[in-house]
Structure 1
C-alpha cells in the first residue's frame, strides 16, 4: 500500500514509521519532508499535485486540516485519514471532498516520543485499506480507542484546552521559591509546567483556538480569588465531589504533603 503523508512534522513522521506501507512525505518545508523520508526509509513527494496514492494522511496543524483535505483529497484512491487532533471539522471536510473513499480520523493521545499509547479512532467510512492501517498501529503496541467525533472533540475541551490553560496559568503566575519549600503538589505542578513549556507554542495556541475550556478555568480561578472563607470551603467541597464521588473532603486527612489546620488553629504535624 502506498501512503502519502502531508505534513512532515513529528506526528507525520511518527505515523509514517508506525504503519506497514510505502510512505512518501509532502511538506511546505522540503527539508523537513526529506528528513522525515530518510528517518522512515520513505520518499519525498510533490506537495502540489502529482501522482495519486492508495491513502492520503493529513498530518498538519488542526487549524489547517480542512484546507489541506480540500487540496489533497483528489490524490487519494482508496482512503483519506488525518492525525490533526480535531475530528468533527476534519471528517466533515473528508465527506465533502472524498465521499466515496474510506475515511478515518485518528488522534494519538501522546507525544510521538512517548509512543506507543492510546489512539482515539473514528471510523467514518471504514474498509480494507484503513483496517490495514489500524491493524499496523495496533501491532506496534498502540491501544485503539473507538469513539465518535462529537465525543472526542467535547472531551478535548477538558483533556487539552482546560488542562493546558490551568498548567500555563500556573507557569505564568508562579514565582520562584527557596529550595526546601517545595510540597508534593507544587513539585508535580512544577514538573507539568516544565513539560508543557518545553513544547511548541503554536500547537498549544491551535488547541486553545479550536476547543473551548480555558474560559471555564479562568472563571473558576476568579471565583476562588473572590471567595471568602466559607465560599472557598464550598468551592472546595464542590471540587471534591467532582473527583471523589461526593465524599466530604473535610473528613479525609490530607495525604499530599500539604498541611491541614487542627482544631486549635495550629498547623497539623
Structure 2
C-alpha cells in the first residue's frame, strides 16, 4: 500500500512511522518533507503533485484542514484520513468530497514523544485500507477509542481548551518559590506548566481558537476569587463532587470505551 502524508510535522511523522507502507510526504515547506522522507525511509513529493495514492492522510494545522481536504482528496484512490485534532468539520468535509471512498478521522491524545497512547477514532466509512492502517496503529501499542465527531469535539473543550487554559493561567500568575517552601500541588502544577510550554505555541493557539472552554475556566477563577468564606466552601464541595465523579468514570472505564 502506498500512502501520502500531507503535513510532515511531528504528528505526520508519527503516523508515517506507525504504519508499514510505501510513504510519500508533502509539506508547505519542501525541506520538512525531505527531512521526514529521509528520516523514515519514504520520499518527498511536491504539495501540488498530481500523483494518486491508495490512501492520503492529512496531518495539517486545525485552521487549514477543510482547505486541505478540498485540495488533496482527489489524490486518494481508496481512502482519506485526517489527523488534525478536530472532527466534526473534517468528517463532514471528507464525506462531501469523497463519498465513495473509505474515510477515517483520527486524533492521537498525546504528543509523539509520549506515544503510544489513546487515539480517538471516527470511522465514517470503513474498508480494508483503513482497517489495515488502524491495525498498524494498534500493533504499535496504541489504544483506539471509537467516538463520534460531536462527542469528541465536546470532550476537547474540557480535555484540551479548559485544561490548557488552567495550566497556562497558573504559569502566568505563579511566582518563584524557594525549594523548601514548595508543596506537592505546586510541584505538580509546575511540572504541567513545563510540559505544556515545551510545545508549539501555534498548536495551542489553534486549539483555543477551535474549542470553547477558556471562558468557563476564567469564570470559575473569578467566582473563587470573589467568593466569601461560605461561598468558597460551597464551590470547594462542588469541585470535589465533580472530581469524584470523574475519578469514578476513570476507574470503571479506564480506556474511555463504552
Please report the TM-score for the alignment, with normalisation by the length of structure 2. 0.94
For 2:133 and 2:241, the matched residues in 1 are separated by 42
TM-align CA RMSD? 1.0
Paired residues, number: 246
For 1:109 and 1:175, the matched residues in 2 are separated by 30
Q: Name the structure 1 match of 2:43.
A: 43
Using the TM superposition, give the Cα deviation of residue 138 of structure 1 relative to its aligned residue in structure 2, in angstroms.
Answer: 0.6
Deviations 1:80-133 (A, max 9, x none): 001101011011110111111100000011110111111111000010000000
Q: Name the structure 2 match of 1:66.
A: 66
For 1:24 and 1:115, the matched residues in 2 are separated by 22
Q: Name the structure 1 match of 2:197.
A: 197
Deviations 1:24-63 (A, max 9, x none): 0000111100111111100001101321001010000111
Identify the structure with the greater helix proportion.
2
Q: Name the structure 2 match of 1:265.
A: none
Using the TM superposition, give the Cα deviation of residue 179 of structure 1 relative to its aligned residue in structure 2, in angstroms.
Answer: 2.2
SS at match of 1:130: helix
Distance 1:113-1:245 versus aligned 2 partners, 3 A rule: closer
For 1:39 and 1:118, the matched residues in 2 are separated by 25
Misfit runs of 4+, over 3 Å: none
Matches within 5 A, 1:179-218: 179-218=179-218
Indicate whether 1:165 and 2:165 are aligned: yes
Greater CA drift, 1-10 or 46-55? 46-55
SS at match of 2:178: coil
Q: Name the structure 1 match of 2:255.
A: none
For 2:102 and 2:198, the matched residues in 1 are separated by 36
Using the TM superposition, give the Cα deviation of residue 245 of structure 1 relative to its aligned residue in structure 2, in angstroms.
Answer: 4.4
For 1:143 and 1:208, the matched residues in 2 are separated by 26
SS at match of 2:46: coil
Matches within 5 A, 1:1-269: 1-245=1-245
Deviations 1:235-258 (A, max 9, x none): 001111111249xxxxxxxxxxxx
Structure with higher Rg: it is 1
SS at match of 2:68: helix
Distance 1:21-1:187 versus aligned 2 partners, 3 A rule: same
Contact 2:30 2:46 in 1 (8 A): no
For 1:116 and 1:229, the matched residues in 2 are separated by 44
For 2:84 and 2:143, the matched residues in 1 are separated by 18
SS at match of 1:124: strand
Distance 1:245-1:83 versus aligned 2 partners, 3 A rule: closer
For 1:18 and 1:36, the matched residues in 2 are separated by 13
Using the TM superposition, give the Cα deviation of residue 79 of structure 1 relative to its aligned residue in structure 2, in angstroms.
Answer: 0.4
SS at match of 1:180: helix
For 1:115 and 1:237, the matched residues in 2 are separated by 36
